[in-house]
């Protein structure tokens, strides 16, 4: 077999640097486990000053979802996981979409046949049965065909697949950065299909060929692929290639017994965004699902992406499954919301404020600071501020507050004496309103709460509000404030 082409391919492979890849299949949304794989892969590359490569694995044509590739690009860009090589930016070892690399897989499968580590199989076994994990190991009569006989049948046009020739007897040992060295008996491994009848490679074969040809040094994937790792190793050895470092990550679980799954309503990255979570908080939390910083950062929780790239080390990755805890994510998100500048928070809160408030006189820039410290997610905003748009129906019981020493009777009195004071204001500013209400309480020798609580209740119709009476008066404007107070007086009378 002429090795010139293969030698040329070898000469293209970049060396001397860390090279990692994120290789999603465009089969739908970016679930949390997928995002974590992308994150760890990116962090390994950035921590080591290496390259992060994006490769689209679309050989499973039956599962492709229209628009899914765009979701991958959008998610990675939004998360700041920039790639150095990929379908859209090119690179020295492209193309970076598997179906565009179709022709080379057949060549490598045939090379493996020539080397004796694979064989042509003409049996009518269902490839789908193997893909689903139901294939039972059995001696394949095609294993024993001479290469000459097999080639003659291929040239005669007989349909075939190419299978990996697993050694009979003996053991295969592979090393994983997280799980250590693992040894399996070769007799427990099946002669998996490498090249299907349609000429497309199986996932397992394309992965190995592409990882080698792209110079990948670290392969991050889920621990469900641990069982396939011995077969990957045997492929590398069959070609005479160096084996990359494996990093198998334990699954992200919904609870102690169940993996996260879209079928069970578990969220994707897009879902979490729609549910009011910030990208920074999602990334921070997801990184800590199965990884913990060491040394001086061991007690630290909050990291920016550049900070994570600085401190991320494989020693911190855990063997144990991680449980996705919504309350913990809320805690992270609340922290990120509170840490935002007032300007930035107002920008992200604006769409949610506009959902709840349509009244033209309400300045959303005044409302935003009132809710910034009171939200776990952005979806918490609208229910807190909807009263600015329209006064809800409410019970007079809201006027009764033990700590403020208010009841329905003295609240009615308070509103009646406050209304003309506010009516008489010529300047409707925060300070003017504050001074008028506090001055009135002093004049009547009352605690501030005796005036403020009835006013706040009349303006909001809610037991809890972001901001007190002064803020609500200021934001609602004079006309709306007086109208709501008058309504409160009528309701209490």
Residues belonging to the active site: 262
Any idea which residue has 């492209």 for tokens?
94
The answer for residues whose C-beta is within 8 angstroms of residue 368's C-beta and 6 or more apart is: 342, 345, 346, 349, 350, 353
- Omega into 95 within 30° of 0, i.e. cis? yes
Dist. CA 108–CA 165, nearest whole Å:
14
Radius of gyration of the chain (CA): 32
> Looking at 11-144, which runs of residues are DSSP E strands?
19-22, 51-54, 118-121
Choose among 270, 374, 373, 287: nearest CA to 329: 287
> CA 240, 241, 246 angle in degrees (round to 5)?
135
Residue 19, φ and ψ in degrees, nearest 5: -135, 120
Helix/strand/coil for 194: strand
Burial class (CB in 10 A: 0-12, 13-18, 19+), 462: middle
Instruction: Give the separation between CA 40 and CA 47, rounded to whole angstroms.
Output: 10
DSSP secondary-structure letter at 384? H
Q: Which residues does 399 contact at the CB level (< 8 Å), separation at least 6? A: 406, 407, 408, 411, 453, 454, 457, 492
Question: Distance between alpha carbon 448 and the CA centroid of its chain, in Å?
Answer: 48
By CB atoms closer than 10 A (0-12, 13-18, 19+), residue 46 is buried
**401/411 Cα distance (integer angstroms):** 10
């Amino acid at each position: 077999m002429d090795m010139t082409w293969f030698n040329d391919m070898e000469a293209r492979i970049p060396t001397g640097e860390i090279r990692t890849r994120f290789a999603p299949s465009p089969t739908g949304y970016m679930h949390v486990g997928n995002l974590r794989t992308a994150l760890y892969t990116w962090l390994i590359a950035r921590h080591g000053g290496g390259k992060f490569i994006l490769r689209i694995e679309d050989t499973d044509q039956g599962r492709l979802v229209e628009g899914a590739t765009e979701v991958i690009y959008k998610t990675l860009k939004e998360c700041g996981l920039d790639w150095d090589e990929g379908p859209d930016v090119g690179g020295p070892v492209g193309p970076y979409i598997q179906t565009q690399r179709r022709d080379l897989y057949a060549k490598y499968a045939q090379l493996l046949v020539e080397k004796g580590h694979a064989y042509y199989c003409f049996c009518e076994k269902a490839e789908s049965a193997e893909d689903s994990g139901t294939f039972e190991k059995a001696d394949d009569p095609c294993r024993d065909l001479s290469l000459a006989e097999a080639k003659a049948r291929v040239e005669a046009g007989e349909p075939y697949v190419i299978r990996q020739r697993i050694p009979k007897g003996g053991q295969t040992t592979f090393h994983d950065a997280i799980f250590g060295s693992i040894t399996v008996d070769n007799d427990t491994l099946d002669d998996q299909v490498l090249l299907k009848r349609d000429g497309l490679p199986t996932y397992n074969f394309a992965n190995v060929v592409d990882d080698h040809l792209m110079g990948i040094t670290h392969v991050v994937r889920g621990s469900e692929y641990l069982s396939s790792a011995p077969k990957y190793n045997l492929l590398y050895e069959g070609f005479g290639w160096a084996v990359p470092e494996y990093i198998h990550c334990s699954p992200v679980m919904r609870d102690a017994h169940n993996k996260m799954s879209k079928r069970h309503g578990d969220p994707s990255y897009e879902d979490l965004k729609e549910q009011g979570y910030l990208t920074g908080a999602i990334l921070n939390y997801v990184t800590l699902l199965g990884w913990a910083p060491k040394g001086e950062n061991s007690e630290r929780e909050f990291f920016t992406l550049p900070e994570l790239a600085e401190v991320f080390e494989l020693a911190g990755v855990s063997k144990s499954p991680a449980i996705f805890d919504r309350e913990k994510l809320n805690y992270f998100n609340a922290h990120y919301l509170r840490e935002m500048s007032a300007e930035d928070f107002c920008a992200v809160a604006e769409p949610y404020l506009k959902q709840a408030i349509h009244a033209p006189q309400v300045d959303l820039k005044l409302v935003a600071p009132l809710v910034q410290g009171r939200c776990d997610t952005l979806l918490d905003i609208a229910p807190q501020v909807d009263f600015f748009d329209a006064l809800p129906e409410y019970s007079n019981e809201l006027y009764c507050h033990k700590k403020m020493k208010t009841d329905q009777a003295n609240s009615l009195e308070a509103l009646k004496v406050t209304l003309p004071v506010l009516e008489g204001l010529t300047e409707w500013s925060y300070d003017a309103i504050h001074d008028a209400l506090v001055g009135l309480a002093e004049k009547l020798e009352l605690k501030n709460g005796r005036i403020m609580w009835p006013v706040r209740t009349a303006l909001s119709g809610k037991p809890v509000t972001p901001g007190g009476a002064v803020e609500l008066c200021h934001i609602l404007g004079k006309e709306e404030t007086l109208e709501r107070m008058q309504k409160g007086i009528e309701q209490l009378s």
